[in-house]
Structure 1
Amino acid sequence: MKKLILFVCALLATSLAAAQFRVEVTGVGLTQVPIAIAQFKAEEGSPQKVSAVVQADLERSGQFRGSSPVAGTWDEAARMDLAAWRQKGSDAAVVGSITKLADGRFDVRFRLWDLAKGQDLGGQSHVVVAADLRLAAHRIADYVYEKITGDKGVFSTRIAYITKSSGLYNLWVADADGENAQSALSSPEPIISPAWSPSGKQLAYVSFESRKPVVYVHEVATGKRRLLANFKGSNSAPAWSPDGRQVAVTLTRDGISQIYLMDANGGEPKRLAQSGSIDTEPVFTADGKTLYFVSDRGGSPQIYRMPVTGGNAERVTFNGTYNISPSLSVDGKYLAYVSRVNGQFKLHVMDLASGVAQAITDTASDESPSFSPNGRLIMYATVQQGKEALMTTTVDGKIKARLAGQFGDIREPDWGPVLK
């Protein structure tokens, strides 16, 4: 997989990815919670195996590992012999039911038990149409994750990525596990750099329909789009401010790639630095006060940061001669990026407090890291076993999940926010 920094907004090669993925989880974490997810009562009559989706979500997070439920039929109202469940090696259990209603919808109910403490941690009911059964399962997994770990779950969020097939480029929007992919845009010209707005209602991206890179904003629900940046030269690498009011873009209107800030509704951009070097790939910190970006001002591509108001830039990466594609965890503790090491492109994570960074993958063609909204996982594209694939990894690299396209390639993933 050829790695190209967006200094000149060159096209990243893309290939076909199917809308359906399978999840393959590998690795072992140090403190995984053993959890039993019993088959929901009457689930065999449902078009979606909700309990299986819940278990896959939780295992992919790296915080849980599946354990065997007690034999029998269980639902949210069942009298639980907690000691018997604990003897099966579980610290938590989820039981539930799926009931088809007269209007064709499904009532999905569940209850979560903390077996270690002997506590009922509550439950919920989700009444959904058949097409939303997977979403109900993701929301159950979110509930379980938050109750057990104290962190927000991200299983009901969405991702975006790019594919190419037979000369047609597609911008896809899918569930966080890669399922239910829907094409938001198809074009015979390249599409690159999708970026979710903080609301999760819009995607900014770069299109080459005008025979040069131009930035558009796409309304996910309606499919409507509007032109954001079409200035002289290249318009690329959009990044939303945390409040959604501004977008940082890379423009060559002044003859060299530089970072500009503009209103999310359009207007005249403001140049943030006056360097004579190439600056690109901006990303905001969660407080909106700082921009991380890539620049060759030191002689090779490295990651820097500077105030959003402009001013002096501070170099962040020092190991290696080629460090690109910054992504920040929401808590500001970690920086994910791609570094070229001995000709291989590997995903690295830096502890920003100490400045210590380490490679967390054993692949050689990693690209486009994107943190989950809770900062616990990183999504990226890579080549594994000869096939290009979308992956997630825990921040320490110990547990990875492959979301494998059935027929081809996946590029430039971006993880959307938790919807309000």
Structure 2
Amino acid sequence: MKKAIFLFFAFFLTFVGVSYAQNYELNITNPNYQKILINVYNLESSNPVLAQKVKSVIVRDLNMSGFYQVNDINTTLSNPSNVSGCNYAVFGSVSESNSNVVLDAKVYNVTNQKIVINTKITSNNFAWVSHKLVDNFMLYDTGIYGPFESKIIFSAGNKKVKNLYIADFDGENIQQITHYNSNLLLPMWVTNNEVSFTGYLNNYPSVYLLNLSSSHITNLSSNSNFSENATYYKDGLYAVSINKNSNINIFLVNKSGQIVKQLTNNHSITISPYFTPDLSKMVYVSNSEGSPQIYSLDLSLGVSNRLTYDCQNSQSPAVSPDGTKIAYICAGSNFALNIIGINGGNSENIISSYYLDSPSWSYDSRYIAVYGSIDSKEGIYIINTINGNFSLAIGANKLYSDFGGLDVSKKIN
């Protein structure tokens, strides 16, 4: 099932999903990127099963980052000065204390012959200590903190019933968070404890807000027979696409679903609001000039500018957390994941395939999670926008037969 314009028209005109072929190919931007070599050694521990779990997450994260080639070494390391043939060595120990996992980790710079990271990380989640180590190492090595402490929320199931799931950024630790006999689609993180989604809980598509702690659900569009997508603005207000007076426009609503302000006034279909981090602009999709394209609204001036001109249908815009660029899907006979500057200009193609959907940035503004397929392996992929490296995070065959959107948290969880 497709997001944005195609999914929207399916809702608005027929309320029926769309299916697509399953055999795809994908092109990447830089397959010859030279990766940094890292040896990851066994972690000393009185619990070897736990130590192996922690090590496996470290290896998976480093490989998924796209910057490193990992050698999984099946032995412990006592003297790092003896290491050669790689750039870094990761070693240390794992212990348990008061139901917590304690990772005492070290990273040795083989070239400079010194330990560059010496840290102790504690959590009740073994995967999180591994993610934290890799993110800190990426900060040291690249100057930017890594993305692996973020979470992916996604919609999956079959054509009639889809529910919401949360997973770690590497695709592990999948948890189902809703259990409705309905279609729940287009989830988006609002805060670390709230997500919005489009659902058919009242027999027509409405936007809801879900509190993850209490499981309480609020209807953000109770006065409309159609609404799509909710993005948090500020001061308890949300931008929602609502059918009003036979046009779909974007409105600010409060938690009671009451309209506070109309943001767009198009005689067309206007959906997929997304704010810049400084809240100066709102990016959205509209077919006001014929085909679906991406626009930017200056919220202080009330002036809109068209940003995309390079394809037949531009959809699913996502603003990077650093506020400098927009990822979107260029849809035509094939699909392309493109990036454009926040003020428009020439677009950069990251990947192309027969089908791509729902791009979302990690909080470090380097990675994009996107739904698609590589060599007939359909699922959620993590794309490194720096060098084009991609990794399958969640394979569709493991969990679901039909997809309904995803979003990546923009704050560390």
Query: Same fold by TM (over 0.5)?
Result: yes
Q: For residues 7 and 244 of structure 1, what CA distance do their matches in structure 2 show?
A: 31
Q: For residues 331 and 126 of structure 1, what CA distance do their matches in structure 2 show?
A: 27
Counterparts in 2 of 1:119-130, with a 5 A limit? 119-129=114-124
Q: Secondary structure of 1:122's match?
A: strand
Amino acid at match of 2:94: I
Residues 336-361 of structure 1, C-alpha deviations (whole Å, 9 max, x = no match): 111123x1222222245672223322
Could you say if the C-alpha distance between residues 269 and 14 of structure 1 is closer, same or farther in structure 2, counting changes exceeding 3 Å? farther
For the 8 Å contact 2:360–2:369, the answer to whether it is kept is yes
Amino acid at match of 1:39: N
Does residue 289 of the first structure (1) align with residue 291 of the second (2)?
A: no
Which position in structure 2 is the counterpart of 1:112? 107
Tell me by how many angstroms 1:287 deviates.
0.9
Which position in structure 1 is the counterpart of 2:24? none
Q: How well do the aligned residues superpose, as a CA RMSD in angstroms?
A: 2.7
Residues 72-100 of structure 1, C-alpha deviations (whole Å, 9 max, x = no match): 522xxx4431xx32x31x22221111124
Q: For residues 180 and 355 of structure 1, what CA distance do their matches in structure 2 show?
A: 39
Which position in structure 2 is the counterpart of 1:368? 358
Tell me by how many angstroms 1:133 deviates.
0.9
Which position in structure 2 is the counterpart of 1:20? none
Does residue 94 of the first structure (1) align with residue 90 of the second (2)?
A: yes
Q: For residues 279 and 354 of structure 1, what CA distance do their matches in structure 2 show?
A: 19
Q: For residues 229 and 34 of structure 1, what CA distance do their matches in structure 2 show?
A: 51
Which position in structure 2 is the counterpart of 1:272? 263
1:64 to 68, 72, 93: 68
Could you say if the C-alpha distance between residues 379 and 291 of structure 1 is closer, same or farther in structure 2, counting changes exceeding 3 Å? same
Tell me by how many angstroms 1:48 deviates.
4.8
Amino acid at match of 2:250: I
Could you say if the C-alpha distance between residues 53 and 133 of structure 1 is closer, same or farther in structure 2, counting changes exceeding 3 Å? same
Tell me by how many angstroms 1:186 deviates.
2.0
Amino acid at match of 2:80: M
Amino acid at match of 1:293: Y
Tell me by how many angstroms 1:148 deviates.
1.5
Counterparts in 2 of 1:11-410, with a 5 A limit? 13=17, 28=31, 30=33, 32-42=35-45, 44-46=48-50, 48-67=52-71, 72-74=75-77, 78-81=78-81, 84-85=82-83, 87-88=84-85, 90-101=86-97, 103=98, 105-129=100-124, 132-165=125-158, 167-197=160-190, 199-241=191-233, 243=234, 245-264=236-255, 266-309=257-300, 311-341=302-332, 343-352=333-342, 355-396=345-386, 398-403=388-393, 404-405=395-396, 406-409=398-401, 410=403
What percentage of residue pairs aligned between the two structures are identical?
22
Could you say if the C-alpha distance between residues 9 and 260 of structure 1 is closer, same or farther in structure 2, counting changes exceeding 3 Å? farther
Amino acid at match of 2:93: S
For the 8 Å contact 1:34–1:65, the answer to whether it is kept is yes
Q: For residues 276 and 100 of structure 1, what CA distance do their matches in structure 2 show?
A: 61
Residues 194-232 of structure 1, C-alpha deviations (whole Å, 9 max, x = no match): 1102x3111011111111112211112332222222122
Moved more, 294-303 or 381-390: 381-390
Unaligned runs of 5+ in 1: 16-24
Tell me by how many angstroms 1:8 deviates.
6.6
Q: Secondary structure of 1:159's match?
A: strand
Could you say if the C-alpha distance between residues 128 and 237 of structure 1 is closer, same or farther in structure 2, counting changes exceeding 3 Å? closer
Could you say if the C-alpha distance between residues 298 and 166 of structure 1 is closer, same or farther in structure 2, counting changes exceeding 3 Å? closer
For the 8 Å contact 2:276–2:282, the answer to whether it is kept is yes
Q: For residues 379 and 366 of structure 1, what CA distance do their matches in structure 2 show?
A: 11
Tell me by how many angstroms 1:39 deviates.
1.5
Q: Secondary structure of 2:338's match?
A: strand
Tell me by how many angstroms 1:261 deviates.
1.5
Q: For residues 177 and 267 of structure 2, what CA distance do their matches in structure 1 show?
A: 37
Residues 278-303 of structure 1, C-alpha deviations (whole Å, 9 max, x = no match): 21111111111101111111111110
Q: For residues 324 and 414 of structure 1, what CA distance do their matches in structure 2 show?
A: 15
Could you say if the C-alpha distance between residues 393 and 221 of structure 1 is closer, same or farther in structure 2, counting changes exceeding 3 Å? same
Q: Secondary structure of 2:247's match?
A: coil
For the 8 Å contact 2:33–2:387, the answer to whether it is kept is no
Q: For residues 406 and 33 of structure 2, what CA distance do their matches in structure 1 show?
A: 28
Residues 102-124 of structure 1, C-alpha deviations (whole Å, 9 max, x = no match): x5543321012233333322332
For the 8 Å contact 1:160–1:171, the answer to whether it is kept is yes
TM-score by length of 1: 0.86
Q: Secondary structure of 1:186's match?
A: coil
